[in-house]
Structure 1
Amino acid sequence: MIELQYTHKVNKLIQNAHMIAERNHHTSIQSMDFFLGAAHVKEGTLREMYHLMEPFMEQIENISTIIPSEPPDTERIDCFSIPLSTHARKVWNTSIGVMKRYNQTFLNEGHIIKAFYAHLPEHPQLQKELNAIPHERIIRSVTTARDLTVYLLNKDWKYEVNPAVQVSPVQGEDEKELLVWVEEHFGGSWSKTLLKAFQSSGECIPIFKAEEEGELIGFAAFDAYKNKKGIYGPMGVLPHTRHKGVGKALLYNALQCMQEKGYMYAVLKEAGPIEFYEKMCNAKLIPVENDE
């Protein structure tokens, strides 16, 4: 069983939730402490969340004085110094379920905010007090896959992974094995995308594979999504081999190849683990368009 881990932003969210609970004299962390704690992280998608909430912040900060405290849960969680409320515990458990459903091993802010909104209708008084804020834009900003950009120049993307892992460009004869493996582990839509990469007319197939003891454990592609140039992805690594630098090695090999092809930027299309890309390659969020 892979141990649950938290992204940097979730660790800050937890710290903020503790401070907000203490400031409001709560004996347990409330679901609203999670929500407000997330906004006050003010990094990445949570910076966008804060800006969306900022015009209503005084009203939001006063909610704890208006609605009764949620009762505490009896079971303690190691990463919290005080109990969660029963409602906050539901949010926490659901966020872990969301993370597992997406086959991820780091709990991120998107999982928690998605869970918060899943349980908000169960708390009609809180839902009423939050009525004015732009929920749909917050959900779209924080809980959905996002596009990012990476500046490719002035950096050497070469990266040496664990010697037990081999990262290499795929060859034409790898097509059948790789497509079957990707469909089995990551779904048919990704295998169809990779098929287009094998069928491209370029001088090389824009896919890298990672192997351990001769077995496939991951892949990364570029110039494959809808045959658009300069787009990185999809990328997938088997869960039991994560946290070993395999994803970073695949990413860097692909970005190095894109740089050598003359690309100035790479677009990370619909990236799920946003913080991974922010940390690994200084990726920058492309703002969500306001279509209201």
Structure 2
Amino acid sequence: MRYTDRSLRILKYAEMEAERTTKVVYPVHLLLGILLDKTGVCAELYINYPSLTEILNDRIEQMQFDIEDKGIIYEPFNINISQTTKTVLEHADFQMKRFKQVYINEGHIVDAIFKNNDRITKAIIDGLDVSRILEIVSVPRDMIVSLRDYSFPTIPTSGITFRKAKLSDASSLKIFVEKEFGNGWLDSIKNGFLKEDIPIFIAQDDQGIIGFACFDVVRRKKGLFGPMGTSFSNRIQGIGYTLLHYCLVEMKEIGYEYAVIGEAGPLEFYEKACNADVIPKKITDLQQ
């Protein structure tokens, strides 16, 4: 399994909490690990639900764990984890692959915890505002990038060509998008090709298009980055990173001071790639 850096930190925090309490990592420790990370949406959850850490720790003390459960060895943990924790991580991996992503993130983990039906996990999360927790951590979030002091980064050379799309690319890009991602983005792509200066960049190799990125095409809204996608077989090569920055530098040249990334899925990618910040949700009723 592949994990984002934040997810690896969460697993490490979960392990620390388990060493302090049950000596075996249970799903509740993953939740505590998320609250301890305090970055990105994890920090937002901690701020909006300040009592959650205490609630979870109180329930761990009250819960009767199976003392015969010695757990199982499972990477990347250094101590044993419960079978239910293994199930949670396997479901997170399934969700990640279902959305054609390549790294398990905090959203996949939280979603998998709340879909777990074992006795202990159900008792631990009983009465929590699960839907609002998921709304913060597990659903795609809007992000914002300041372009005021933005500068185009150094891009490593490769055998991949990056260029502005031309009208003649419309048919091949439509075929690529439909094959790799379905038809959900086709209207936005069409909007891009209706513009005189097409706000779409593509990446291609000898075989054809392998990635694309757009701006100002979703509902024809100004200052909105996306959609962006890279063929599954070409992930983790910096293609999305490069396409993102070709769009951002042009958005800055147009005169935008900010770029909004709508419903971003891999939040940590954008946080690292362009210092994007999640736009906070106004949630005030998560107290318990």
TM above 0.5, yes or no, is: yes
After TM superposition, the score normalised by the length of structure 1 is 0.92
Corresponding residue number in structure 1 for 2:64: 68
Deviation at residue 69 of structure 1 after TM alignment: 2.2
Question: Secondary structure at 2:198's aligned position in 1?
Answer: coil
Q: Deviations over 1:92-148 (max 9, x none)?
A: 1101101110111111000000000110x432x543443343322110010000000
Corresponding residue number in structure 1 for 2:47: 51
Q: Deviations over 1:32-59 (max 9, x none)?
A: 1111111111110001111233124323
Q: Residue 91 of structure 2: which of 91, 94, 97 is its match? A: 94
Q: Residue 11 of structure 1: which of 8, 13, 22 is its match? A: 8
Corresponding residue number in structure 2 for 1:127: 122
Q: Confirm or deny: 8 A CA contact 1:16 1:40 kept in the other structure.
A: yes
Question: Secondary structure at 1:99's aligned position in 2?
Answer: helix
Q: Confirm or deny: 8 A CA contact 1:210 1:250 kept in the other structure.
A: yes
Structure 1 letter corresponding to 2:276: A
Uncovered stretches (5+) of structure 2, i.e. residues with no partner: none
Corresponding residue number in structure 2 for 1:175: 170
Question: Secondary structure at 1:288's aligned position in 2?
Answer: coil
Question: Secondary structure at 1:40's aligned position in 2?
Answer: helix
Deviation at residue 173 of structure 1 after TM alignment: 0.5
Structure 2 letter corresponding to 1:142: V
Q: Deviations over 1:62-84 (max 9, x none)?
A: 2221112253444x222011121
1:109 counterpart = 2:106: yes
Q: Residue 242 of structure 1: which of 206, 211, 235 is its match? A: 235
Deviation at residue 223 of structure 1 after TM alignment: 0.2
1:27 counterpart = 2:17: no
Q: Residue 227 of structure 1: which of 212, 220, 230 is its match? A: 220
| 1:291–1:186 Cα change, 3 Å | farther
Partners of 1:104 and 1:56 lie apart in 2 by: 29
1:186 counterpart = 2:195: no
Partners of 2:76 and 2:34 lie apart in 1 by: 16
Corresponding residue number in structure 2 for 1:156: 151
Partners of 2:152 and 2:105 lie apart in 1 by: 26
Partners of 2:211 and 2:41 lie apart in 1 by: 27
Question: Secondary structure at 1:5's aligned position in 2?
Answer: coil
Q: Confirm or deny: 8 A CA contact 1:152 1:265 kept in the other structure.
A: yes
Structure 1 letter corresponding to 2:206: E
1:252 counterpart = 2:245: yes
1:37 counterpart = 2:33: yes
CA RMSD of aligned residues (A): 1.7
Percent of aligned positions with the same letter in both sequences?
31
After TM superposition, the score normalised by the length of structure 2 is 0.93
Partners of 1:23 and 1:159 lie apart in 2 by: 45
| 1:9–1:169 Cα change, 3 Å | same
Deviation at residue 212 of structure 1 after TM alignment: 1.6
